[in-house]
Structure 1
Amino acid sequence: MAGESSLIFISGGVRSGKSRFAEILAGKWEAKYSGQLHYVAAGQPSDQEMKERILRHQQDREFSGLHWRTWEIPRNLSSLSMVLTKNDIVLLDCLTTLLNNEFFYKDGQWKNDNFPKMIAIKIINELKQVAEQARAFIIVSNEVLGEAVTDDRLVFTYAKVLGQLHQAIVKEADYAYLVEAGVPIMMKGECSS
């Protein structure tokens, strides 16, 4: 998926510190390659909790000392690839939100038997387009698959697609991390100094 660029996958539970780790990592890549930092925010302010999370992430980026170009892209990520240069560092936060937005873009579309396969292919293709244009593409995702999946068809379908996306991304990734309690654990790749 990445070619000359690097693909980095970071997952972890809710509030595990994965976004903060991803931002620090992006800053290190930016310092190394002098590219522009791009932050792709997939979240939409749908309720008070989400509004607070978005505000907290915006404040974290503002106080980080890094210069981010923020893109609000809840769906259809491929348009971003047209503005990137080969030294740019892109951070997508987060894949689970992007998938959620795709699931609920049209009411009930997820019930279509072809939807899971079609949406997984669409998202993977869009991720590839971005990865091919950037020096590093960091994808953050929630680790929601450790819990038992209920008999709810929607939850099962969502978990299935998310699991497929995680596996496809990690297969192509140069680095994969799991963040637990603020501690990043390298799952794939080699440590560099």
Structure 2
Amino acid sequence: MEKGKLIFVTGGVRSGKSSFAEELATDWSRELDANLHYIACGVPSDKEMRQRITRHQENRSIASINWKTWECPTNLQRISSNFSKQDILVLDCATTLLNNYLFDQNINDSSVVMNYMLTDIFSLQEASSGVIVVSNEVMQDVPHQASVTRKYQYILGNVHQNIVEWADAAYLVESGIPVCKKGGAENERDNDPGNCF
């Protein structure tokens, strides 16, 4: 079976990365006449997370296209059979998925966590017309002294590199402005970020 497209969108906290990914998915779904699916990895574990989840839900509810939301904190490959080549997926987000494996599932082996995450993402890519993976850019800081944070940075950095290696396009969103980092030099001169791939 032919793999769907893979797009990676990363950025700092409140950079506009999720909004950009949703806009990109919406435009893409109109172009292909495809269904939109939002795979939410967030677990409402505290007040801040509940507020973030509510904000994202409200944004999707006022969108011009209907979204089907899947609440799935781990083991995303188990829902991949629900998708077809008529579906565009937004996975939000890789850092939350990592948190869930490390801290909720208590998986300590870095290679096992990376394998789970990449299996999740690539199974969604294979099942759908395309998947947009949203992540947080926490790798620009110096390695942290705490071993748990260093491990987190190590895993996330390696997962990011693997995704980008296989991605058709990759974006870094800063202050609401998406910058195409991979996807075609001729399109980087074009002001339309959706033309990156």
In structure 2, the partner of 1:131 is: 125
Residue in structure 1 matched with residue 100 of structure 2 by the alignment: 101
> Aligned-pair distance for 1:188?
0.2
Determine if contact 1:77/1:126 at 8 Å carries over to the other structure: yes
2:173 matches 1:179: yes
**Identity in percent:** 42
Look up the match of 2:112: 118
Partner of 1:69: 68
Unaligned runs of 5+ in 1: none
Rounded to whole Å, the distance in 2 between the matches of 1:101 and 1:40 is: 14
Report SS of the residue matched to 2:159. helix
1:38 corresponds to: 37
Matched, 1:29 2:45: no
Q: Does 1:188 align with 2:177?
A: no
Corresponding letter in the other structure for 1:28: D
- Please list the CA deviations of residues 96-141 of structure 1 after superposition, one character each: whole Å capped at 9, or x if unmatched: 001100001244x42xxxx101110111112111101111100000
2:88 aligned partner: 89
Q: Tell me the alpha carbon deviations over residues 137-158 of structure 1, each in whole angstroms, 9 at most, x when there is no partner.
A: 0000000011122211100001
Question: Which structure carries more relative contact order (alpha carbon 8 Å, separation 6+)?
Answer: 1
Q: What is the number of residues matched between the two proteins?
A: 187
TM-score, normalised to structure 2, is: 0.91
Structure 2: which 5+ residue stretches go unaligned?
Answer: 188-194
